[in-house]
Structures are given as structure tokens and as C-alpha cells.
Structure 1
Amino acid sequence: MAKKSGGGGCLVVVLVVGLLAFGYYKWQHGSSSAPPGGADTGGGTGRYVALGDSYTSAPRTGRQAGTPAGCERSDDNYPHLVSAKLKPAEFADVSCSGAATGDLTAAQKTSNGTNPPQLNAVTAKTTLVTLGIGGNDVGFMSLASSCATSQRAASPCKDRLTAGGHDQLAERIDATAPKLGAVLERIHSKAPDAKVVVVGYPAVLPDGDGCWPTLPFGAGDIAYFRDSLGKLNKMLEDTADAHRAGYADTATPGKGHDACAASGERWVEGVLPASPAAPLHPNARGEQGMADAVLAVLKLP
């Protein structure tokens, strides 16, 4: 009996270690997951609606698509690429640069026109929704200009945002989770038959200390923002899972294609883009990589 009990104990230990290792892997690397249930979309059937911010709208990567012009929505962003592959009966891309979760349910004023509440595009006929949102709630882009430094090892933003023992970005990420959850529930309510996919953010910053001065952020801030973006993606993944949505991990396939990569390999441009794109945003190559991640979640080649 003692031997039998010992074997069971070893099995428990192995299972626990395995689960911990899996959790560590997911934290470090992320993972995609398919959306549960829902109607099929494509081949001339269904309605696909794309919601999101500038990482979805893809400013300056292609020709302007739709209105208002201030949303800077390009015709080669990942929603358009996914739609071209799926060929749904109806397609609506209402993503908009600068959007936060609040702009999904309220009109968003841009520098050139007003975008209606994005969720207005989600109807009972909708069979697929992709959602890329959260970065502006946390304030990543608005912080970039204040973080530039002439000192390679400096970390002005980390020092300021973690002063007093409070990590402001971590707190903002936590505060965004219930907002995202409420949006996902609203989508399910408006479109009960829709598959919903939350789309994560690609790898913007490299491992290591970065590429100062090409990317003019000190090593401490590079590490801080890289870790914060990882926390944001983890929150997006967890919230999607908790609210019956799939998750498209774009950070893992984007690893090595960050803003410090060679211009021919880069998915995300630097402060001075070498390819058509907004600074610190995906270029056309990055939008294709994001589209591939969404298609993989939908089990399409």
C-alpha cells in the first residue's frame, strides 16, 4: 500500500509541476484559443464586424477605407485581409485610431470627423466579431513622447510610473479588464450567434535593452514597457476566456519582428518609420501577421 500511495503522490507532483510550467509558458509566451460555438462566416455567408483602435485601423499602411477620415483606417489592415480570405456576405470595419473601450459604446471625435459608437455595427445578423482594444485605456502611445532620453541606461517613465510602490500601468490594465468584459457581454447580447475573437498586440519591443538611440528609450523603460505590454496581452487573453471569446496571440509570431528588427523583418515601425505606418505601429507586414493569427484561430490557412 505504501508503494501505491507513493506512486500517486509522485503523479500529483508531476501534474502540479506540469500545470505550473504550462502557466509559466502562457505568461511568457501567450497562446491563441478558438472562439466557442457560433455560426460560420465566409463563402458568401455571414456578417463580419471589426472593432478596434489604431493597431486595427493601421494608419498610413494603405489607402483610406471608409469614414471618417480621422479614423485613419487602411484598406490593407488585418480586418480587410481576414475578410478577403473569408469572403463573408457582409463586412464592416469600424475601427478607429485613438479608440478606447469607451468609444465602442459612445461616439468618438477625431481630428477629422466623428466615428459612431463602434458597437452600432454589431447586429443580430453578425456571425464574426474581431476586437483589438485596450492600449489607449492604458495610455501606451500617449506616454511615448515623454519617455525619450539621451541616456542609454535611463528609465524616466518607469521611475515616474512606479514611484511610491504603485505600478500605474499595471493598475490601468487591471481597471480595463472589467470594461473589456462588459463590452464582450454586450457583443454577445447584440449578436448571439457570433464568434468573437479578441486580438492581442504584437511584439513592439525586443528582448534585451533595445536599440538606443534608434529607438530612443533607455534600457529600464524598454524592459518596463515590454513587461507591461505582456501584462496587457495576458489580461486580454484571460478576459476573452472568461467571456466566451477566442484570443488571437500576435505577440508570439511577432517575436523578432519588433521595432528594433531590420527594416525588412519589422512588423512594427519605430519612431521614424522606414515603411508606411504610424510611428510605433504595425506596417503592412505586421497587419498581415496579425491577420494570419486571426485566421489560425478560426482554423483557416
Structure 2
Amino acid sequence: MAYRRGEQQMTKIRRSAAALALTVAAGAVVAAGSLSPANAATQKYVALGDSYSSGDGAGSYGSSGACLRSANAYPELYAKAHPGTALSFVACAGAKVEDVLGKQVQALTADTGLVTISIGGNDVGFASVVTTCTFGSDAACTDRIAKSTATATTALPGKLDTTYAEIKTRSPRAQVVVLGYPRLFASGPAFCAISQTKRTALNKAADSLAEIIADRARSAGFTYEDVRDEFAGHGVCTSNPWIHGIRPLAVAESYHPTLAGQKNGYHAALTNAIG
């Protein structure tokens, strides 16, 4: 009888130990489920591109130097709005396709989940076009735009194909969103230092560039997000512009999105594309 009572006591001890183990395990599960966003699984996001992605024009550039990476740029706004996003922000003002392929793509990894990019404007001579159209005659402006459009039609598609293929190779499982460029100016009559002839030609050039970039992005299987709708009614010389005109004390910001343009234009477009 003493032996049987001892055996019963040991059984009770084993059951109590098992119950305690289950309680501890359950507590661990609950604790894991209540981790803060900082400790939760992260999505790796790489922001590639030129000044329209770096946030040139939106201020707060920190220590980014000539790249003009703004704390108000749409990649930063997206990361802040999505806790758990690990942002690698390598877009740089003045970047061309060769800069993306030469350095920026090194930020891409096999486990990158999201990639955004705006590229192509500098490859077709954006700076030269706007300079000529700002200070030159209508004829000089339209002639320079024609040359830029020819370059966009003949040389840019191949460059974009190479860029997009490299992104896909380095980050095959990433969702890639290619963002376009806005029309810069108000359409139709407006009180503006730039003539209507120039504004019309520049806006048509923006449309041509958008069609080329959209075609190559979709051919690569990427999402193309057209920002012209978001910026409609907010170009230079409108009553509520989201794009800077000429800025004598900050020339690099001329004809680039303002803080409102990054927030209500680009960030809104990106959110619309992926949620």
C-alpha cells in the first residue's frame, strides 16, 4: 500500500510538471504574438532612382550631400506609414541608368520585398531641356524637346530593359513599382513666365516619356504607376503648385516636387499601387 501511494504521488507530480510546461509554452506564444513592430518580421524595401525619388525639392536633406535625399521623400513617407519596413534609400539626384546599374542596385538582395524606381529623365536630358525652355526662345525650346524625345524613343527603351532585368535578377521575388514623371506646367492660358507654346511642348514631352517608361515597365512584369493624375492641376503656374518653378537660391530644386508633391503626388501614387 505504501508503494502504491508513492506511485500515485509521483503521477501527480508528473501531471503538475506537464501542466506547468504547457502554461509556460502558452505564455511564450502570447508574448511572441504581442511583439512590437520593431521586433516583428520586416519587409526589405529598396528605393532606387533619381531626384524625383530622392526627394529633391522637398527639403530636409540631412547628410545626403549632392544626392539630396529628403526625409519628406515618398520612400521615407511609405516606410514611416508601414511599421516593420526596413528601408534602403539609395536614390540620388542627377542619377542616370548607369548610376543605378553601377551602384544603386548593390542594395538589392534576394530577400528584398519591395523596390521602387523613377529613372530616365536625366538620360534624355531633363536639365538641358528645362534650362533651354526657361531662358531660350520658343523655337529653341521646341527644337531641344524634339531632340530629347528622339533620344527617349530610340535609346531609352533598351536602357530601361537592362535596368529592369538587373532588378529582377537581384531581387526575383520583389514587388517592383516604377513611378513616372508629372507634367511640369499648367496647361492652357495661365499667368506664367513660361509661354504657353513652351508649356504645351514640355507637357507633351512628359506624355511621350510616360508612354515609353510604362511600356518597358509592363513588359518587364513590373507595376507602372502614372503620377500625372495625382499632379493634375498642381503644375508650375497653377494656383496650388506641387512642383517648384525656378528657385534662384536653390537651383537644384527647380522643377522638382515640393513637400506636398512628394506627399500628395508620389506617396499617394505608391499607396494606390500597393496599398
Decide: shared fold, TM above 0.5. Answer: yes
**Which residue in 2 is equivalent to 1:268?**
243
**Is 1:287 equivalent to 2:262 in the alignment?**
yes
Q: Deviation of residue 49 (structure 1)? A: 0.3
Given residue 137 of structure 1, which amino acid in structure 2 is its aligned partner?
D
Distance 1:118 1:296 in 2: 25
C-alpha separation in 1, matches of 2:68 and 2:78 = 18
* Compared CA separation, residues 60 and 207, structure 1 to 2 (3 A): closer
1: CA distance, partners of 2:122 / 2:108: 22
1:1-301 paired onto structure 2 within 5 Å: 44-65=41-62, 67=64, 69-106=65-102, 117-149=103-135, 154-158=138-142, 160-161=143-144, 167-174=146-153, 175-213=155-193, 217-262=194-239, 265-272=240-247, 278-288=253-263, 289-298=265-274, 300=275
1:125–1:147 CA distance, 2 compared to 1 (3 A): same
Question: CA offsets per residue over residues 272-291 of structure 1, 9 Å max, x none?
Answer: 38999811110000001211
Deviations 1:88-126 (A, max 9, x none): 4421110101001111122xxxxxxxxxx1101111110
User: Deviations 1:214-256 (Å, cap 9, x if unpaired)?
Assistant: xxx3322221111011110111111111001001111112100
* 1:281 partner letter: H
| 1:260 Cα deviation after fit | 1.1
Q: How big is the shift at 1:140?
A: 1.6
Report the CA distance between 1:211 and its aligned residue.
3.6
**Counterpart secondary structure, 2:177:** strand
Indicate the SS of the match to 1:105: helix
Q: Alpha carbons of 1:80 and 1:273: their partners in 2 closer, same or farther (altered >3 Å)?
A: farther
Alpha-carbon distance in 1 for matches of 2:47, 2:62: 13
Equivalent residue letter for 1:121: A
More RCO (CA 8 Å, sep 6+): 1
Unaligned ranges ≥5, structure 2: 1-39
Counterpart CA distance in 2 for 1:200 and 1:211 is: 27
- Structure 2 CA distance for partners of 1:176 and 1:86, relative to 1, 3 Å: same
Shift of the 119–222 alpha-carbon distance from structure 1 to 2, 3 Å rule, reads: same
Q: Distance in 1 between matches of 2:180 and 2:81?
A: 20
- In the alignment, residue 233 of structure 1 is paired with which amino acid? A
Match of 1:24 in 2: none
Per-residue deviation, 1:60 = 4.6
Tell me what 1:10 maps to: none
Question: Is the Cα contact below 8 Å between 2:218 and 2:224 reproduced in 1?
Answer: yes
Question: What is the CA–CA distance in structure 1 between the aligned matches of 2:220 and 2:248, rounded to whole Å?
Answer: 36
**Aligned in 2, Cα 1:210/1:233: closer, same or farther, shift over 3 Å?**
farther
Considering fraction of residues, name the structure with more helix.
2
Q: Name which one, 1 or 2, has greater alpha-carbon Rg.
A: 2
Q: Per the alignment, in what secondary structure is the counterpart of residue 106 of structure 2?
A: helix
Between Structure 1 and Structure 2, how many residues are aligned?
234
Q: 1:25 matched to which residue of 2?
A: none
Letter in 2 for 1:156: A
Q: Distance in 2 between matches of 1:271 and 1:141?
A: 12
Distance 1:65 1:185, change over 3 A: farther
- Say which SS state the counterpart of residue 87 (structure 2) adopts: strand
Q: Which amino acid aligns with 1:157?
A: C
Contact 1:61/1:277 (<8 A) preserved? no
